[in-house]
Amino acid sequence: QGTELLAEEPPVDLGALAEGIARCRRCQIGCNGTAAVPGEGSPGARLMIVGEQPGDNEEMAGRPFVGPAGEVLNAHLAAAGIDRQDAYVTNAVKHFKFTARGKQRLHQNPTAREIDTCRWWLDKERALVHPRIVLALGASAVRGLTGRTPSIGRERGRLLSLPDGVPFLLTAHPSYLLRLDGAAREREEANFASDLAALASHLRDP
């Protein structure tokens, strides 16, 4: 199956890309029976936002970042003056990886290898959307964009470059904020807000 994908022609548009990921069985996650979740937004968006993988809510809705992590993201984008409608929102991995516990489907992190396998699609998506700047939410997003795993502590909030020179900014994944409380949550919310403020300023003044 891997060879089939390598032999596949790059999708000509985002519709063809969505069809391609829906039938992709190149990794175990693609084979687990869930529906692929394509990116969402305008093909001409200046900003691309990349998360890790769809969660339970996203898989059911067929749209990225519609669950609790999406609410955190939306609130921070709005506070920074960035309109989500102007961005193209997608994930490093297009299928939902989970373990079943009773009726619940519990999120599992994709492996580096699974992210690297899905990178073919993320690269094609980026070539079609052609964003001027990319916001990477968490380490898996950077892995998907660059093939390397970053240090969030050292690299967040600064403008970095993708291998093809497109600037990107790394911040924490919103799900990480949701796992914190008290002072740690406040501190990370403030860091997230400051990273998005830096992004907004790059968007205004590239």
Q: Can you give the binding site for ligand URA, defined by CB under 6 A? A: 51-55, 58, 64-65, 67, 69-70, 91, 175
Which residue number, 133 or 175, has a Cβ lying nearer to ligand URA? 175
CB of 21 to ligand URA, least distance (A): 13
Among 139, 59, 122, which residue's Cα sits nearest to residue 96?
Answer: 59
Q: Which CB, 128 or 178, lies closer to ligand URA?
A: 178
Q: Which residue is nearest to ligand URA (CB)?
A: 51
Q: Taking the complex as a whole, how short is the minimal distance between the CB of residue 57 and ligand URA, in angstroms?
A: 7
CB of residue 83 to ligand URA, shortest distance in Å: 18
Nearer to ligand URA (CB atom), residue 30 or residue 55:
55
Cα dist from 148 to 57, 84, 86, 142, whole Å: 28, 27, 28, 7
Q: Report residue 155: phi and psi, to 5°.
A: -110, -10
User: Which residue's CB is nearer to ligand URA, number 41 or number 55?
Assistant: 55
Q: Which residues contact 123 (CB under 8 A, 6 or more apart)?
A: none
Q: What is the DSSP letter of 40?
A: B
Closest to ligand URA by CB, 65 vs 88, is 65
* Minimum distance, C-beta of residue 204 to ligand URA, in the bound complex (Å): 26
Taking the C-alpha atoms of residue 150 and residue 167, their distance in angstroms, rounded to an integer, is 15
Coil/strand/helix, residue 91: strand
- Please report how close the Cβ of residue 117 comes to ligand URA at its closest, in angstroms: 17
Give dist(CA 148, CA 73) in Å, integer: 24
